[in-house]
Each structure stands twice: as C-alpha cells, then as structure tokens.
Amino acid sequence: MSKILFVVTGADHWTLADGTKHPTGFWAEEAVAPCEAFKAAGYEIVVATPGGTVPTVDRGSLAPEFNGGQEGADRVAGALESFTELQRPISLGDVDLDDYAAVFCPGGHGPMEDLAVDPVSGGLLTRALESGKPLGVVCHGPAALLAAQKEDGTNPFAGYRLTGFTNAEEMQAGFADKAKWLLQDRLVEFGGDFQEGEPWVPYVIVDRNLVTGQNPASSAPLAAELLKKLG
C-alpha cells in the first residue's frame, strides 16, 4: 500500500458567531509540507473532500508574514501549484480505507465549518483509528475528530492524548472572541486528553496510531512521525 489519503475541507468560509462568513479553506503549509515529505518517501497522495469539492486554499496562508517572508511565500505557492492532486479530489463517500497506508488531515479554519459536523468524514476517521493505520491530524484539522462516533454514541478519540490549535493561539490570531466555539474546548469536552505546547512552536503528540500537531509549524514534524510509523 503506497498511497496516503488526505482528508481535506471543502469549505471556503467559516461562519463566525455573528453570522459573518470569514473566507478560509485549508492552510497551505499544512498541506504542502506533509505532501512533500510523503512524496519524497515514495508515497502517492490522494485527496478526498466532502462531495469531491475542489478544496480552497486560505489566501491568508500564502502571505509573506506566515511563511517567513516573501521567499518562503513564493516557495509555498509554487509547491501548492505542483500539488495537482488537490485539483482532482475524490468524494469522502467513495474512499475505500483498504487502499491507503495512512490518513492525514490538514487544518485551516475550513474543517471548523464542514468536517466538524460531517458524519461521512467522522466515520472514515473512526475506521482509520480502529484499523491501526497511522492517522495524522494538524492544527484545526482535529475539528474533524468532533464528527467521529462509536456505536454507543461516544467519541472514539476520547482518552487519547492529542493536541490542536489552542485557545491561546486562537486568541492571538484574533478569532477567539468571534468564534462560535473554540477547538481546544470541544476536544476536551468529548474526553480528549488535550496537550498544549507554546503558541506557534512545533508541537506533536503521538498516542498509539494517532499523531496530532498543534499549529502550522507542526506540519513537517508530524509528517516525519507519520513516516516513522509507516517504517
């Protein structure tokens, strides 16, 4: 099995508490850094979104200030253009988990809008966890874990040590007081054993086959951990 499945948001906005639609999508670095690492290791990438929608990049994630300057921004934009699989996604409903060696879910605020309440995505991540395959989720990607449910109604990720975009980071990003809910709060509510590192610093948690990263800077280190599990 030489394919890795990217479960990517299909949302192009995030609805805030006052009803405003904030333009978003997936965060460029969180898709690009793992894609490069996996392809360099010989894996093929397949992208899946709700309904097979072509995913939208959060334009903010291509700004120089989020990429260490203009040179970094140009590099990420170029890498995104070569990530052609993003332009031909399959539908989450058509995924056969047996075809993949691992599953990865990047963030951006998009998953807060769609994957957090998508039962198809939730079912897929539940099966991925139960299969023992490496499952990597980064930044706001863990919002997708909220839609996961076992037959008894509990969340299969309850009791797992995990991380994700923190309340402190959301506050510093300027969205904490505008959001309907905060990711860290929801992950704790369902029983996740939330671990918090310093804001904006790479921080990765590994618990069994689940590998989670706190923020965009955690994307490359998370990919490295996932590749270790794939041996």
Contacts of 50 (CB under 8 A, 6+ apart): 9, 10, 91, 92, 114, 115, 118, 120, 121
Q: Which residues of the chain have pLDDT under 50?
A: none
Indicate the pTM of the whole model: 0.98
What pLDDT, on a 0 to 100 scale, did the predictor assign at position 16? 98
DSSP E strand boundaries for the chain: 3-7, 13-15, 21-23, 44-49, 90-91, 102-105, 135-138, 161-162, 193-194, 204-207, 210-213
Per residue in 38-86, pLDDT (tens digit) is 999 999 999 999 999 999 999 999 999 999 999 999 999 999 999 999 9
What pLDDT, on a 0 to 100 scale, did the predictor assign at position 1? 59
